[in-house]
Chains A and B, each alone.
Chain A
Amino acid sequence: MSLYAQSLTCIRQDRLIFNAVDLSLNPGEILWVKGRNGSGKTSLLRILACLLKPATGIVSWNGTDIEEDPEHYKENLQYVGHQDALKMAMSARENLEFWSDYTENSTVDQALDAFQLQPIADHPTQILSAGQKKRSNLARLIACPAPLWILDEPVSSLDTDYIGLFKDLLEKHVRNGGMALLATHQDLSLSRVRQLDLNQISEVAR
């Protein structure tokens, strides 16, 4: 169960975002993708979550190219993007119930407990604060368990004690043989972290 990407190139709206990026990720590791705004962190993560096709280069999971068998690869990954994938007219519990039903799991209560969402679980997400919405979104990581977590700015609107909570969950996930790709500006001082700095790569590509 390892993720391996070779010479990835990304072109968005006729603009070269990054060029010839290689990375590999094995169970028990966290890869911290760093780089200033516009250096392509989000694009790289979306390519690895097969939401975006790279101009060149291949991404392989367990040695097989994800283009050949995307379904299998998608089962093993959970992607958390900038947007909270929550329907405003439904409550946090209903949202999580849908997601766990949709991915054929049934771990909603652990997810709500893990992110301490029980008190606000039944309010429509409309009236929740940004931090509460982000926690409901992150709770999907527990509601739909998957070995590979691809996280784009996961802690951006969380306050400090919930950042600590998320850090423990992330490290627990990695200790149990999971792996994570993390794009964030905050230094979470995680143990067992490798770094991939997109700034150097984009310089070379110029």
Chain B
Amino acid sequence: MRSFLALLKRDMLLAYRQGSALTMTLSFFVIAVTLFPLGVGPELNVLARIGPGVLWVGALLACLLTLDRIFQADFEDGTLEQLMLGPLSIEFIVLTKIIAHWVMSVLPLIAITPILAISLNVHADGIWAMIFSLLIGSPVLSLIGAVGAALTVAMRRGGVLLSLLVLPLYIPVLIFGVASVEAAVALMPMAPHLMLLGGLSLGALVVCPFAAAAALRLAVE
């Protein structure tokens, strides 16, 4: 348990120290979302209609940017193989890194979503639904993303391939996430969508650490 906390503390410390990476992700998310009104036009009712979708797609793509650094940094300087020689099993190491990535990269995205939601004229309780759906659905982004990152860690130009591998698997999260926000805006019950999102997250929590660990083993060989 002490080594789990040590690794978690170290990863968060590193993410905090390299704050620039986080600001870049947040600024990408803000810029990407503000492009839409410029492209689609300023009519508020149109923006309100496409708001939830734009925010979810923006959050998803911003999260994608941070994925390849999960294992790449440790793989390049030899830390990853030392971690694997430590007491923690590889699955646990992967889980720790996913938690660190989720807290340090995905939570800040969720934190600034309300401000952007207001700029897209999303209805008030739609913003609450947006935060809930992001909170429940975003673990899947980190989990499946970690599998993609582990697969591409030993590749030459892994970044491009990472998005091709991971985005198709993000589609269910996107669909249920946006559906729950639209249900909230239309004053319909959003519980079923959120429950499905929760199911996706739990399912990913069970499968992805093992898949990512298997992918890491062959990368370190």
B87 proximal to A (CB < 8 A) = yes
A83 proximal to B (CB < 8 A) = yes
Interface size of B by CB at 8 A reads 25
Q: How far is the CB of B48 from chain A (nearest CB, A)?
A: 43
How far apart are the CA atoms of A86 and B73 in the complex, in Å? 11
A127 proximal to B (CB < 8 A) = no
A104-B85 contact given A86-B77, A89-B18, A98-B10, CB 8 Å threshold: no
Q: How far is the CB of B172 from chain A (nearest CB, A)?
A: 35
How far apart are the CA atoms of A94 and B13 in the complex, in Å? 11
Choose one: B77, B81, B86; the contact of A102 (CB below 8 Å): B86
> Nearest residue in A to B82 (C-beta to C-beta)?
A85
Residues 104-141 of chain B: 1 if any A CB is under 8 Å from the residue's CB, otherwise 0? 00000000000000000000000000000000000000
How far apart are the CA atoms of A23 and B17 in the complex, in Å? 45
B220 proximal to A (CB < 8 A) = yes
Check A104–B2 contact: CB distance below 8 A. Answer: yes
B84 proximal to A (CB < 8 A) = yes
Which of chain B's residues have a CB closer than 8 A to the CB of A50?
A: 85
In B1-38, the 8 Å CB interface with A consists of 2-3, 6-7, 10, 13-14, 17-18
A-B contact pairs, 22 of them (CB 8 A): A49-B85, A51-B81, A51-B84, A51-B220, A74-B85, A75-B87, A78-B85, A81-B81, A84-B78, A85-B77, A85-B82, A89-B18, A90-B10, A90-B13, A90-B14, A90-B17, A98-B7, A102-B83, A102-B86, A102-B87, A103-B3, A103-B86
Which of chain A's residues have a CB closer than 8 A to the CB of B14?
A: 87, 89-90
The 6 closest A-B pairs by CB, nearest first: A83-B78, A101-B6, A85-B82, A85-B78, A89-B17, A102-B3
Check A104–B3 contact: CB distance below 8 A. Answer: yes
In A3-46, the 8 Å CB interface with B consists of none
Chain B interfacial positions (CB closer than 8 Å to A): 2-3, 6-7, 10, 13-14, 17-18, 73, 76-79, 81-89, 220-221
A167 proximal to B (CB < 8 A) = no
> Nearest residue in A to B218 (C-beta to C-beta)?
A53
A99 proximal to B (CB < 8 A) = yes
A120 proximal to B (CB < 8 A) = no
Check B82–A53 contact: CB distance below 8 A. Answer: no
How far apart are the CA atoms of A52 and B85 in the complex, in Å? 12
Residues 127-138 of chain A: 1 if any B CB is under 8 Å from the residue's CB, otherwise 0? 000000000000
A188 proximal to B (CB < 8 A) = no
Which of chain B's residues have a CB closer than 8 A to the CB of A75?
A: 87
Apart from A81-B81, A103-B87, what 4 extra A-B contacts exist at CB < 8 Å?
A77-B85, A79-B85, A90-B14, A140-B82
Check A51–B10 contact: CB distance below 8 A. Answer: no
Check B221–A83 contact: CB distance below 8 A. Answer: no
A88 proximal to B (CB < 8 A) = yes
A71 proximal to B (CB < 8 A) = yes
How far apart are the CA atoms of A79 and B10 in the complex, in Å? 21
How far apart are the CA atoms of A49 and B221 in the complex, in Å? 11
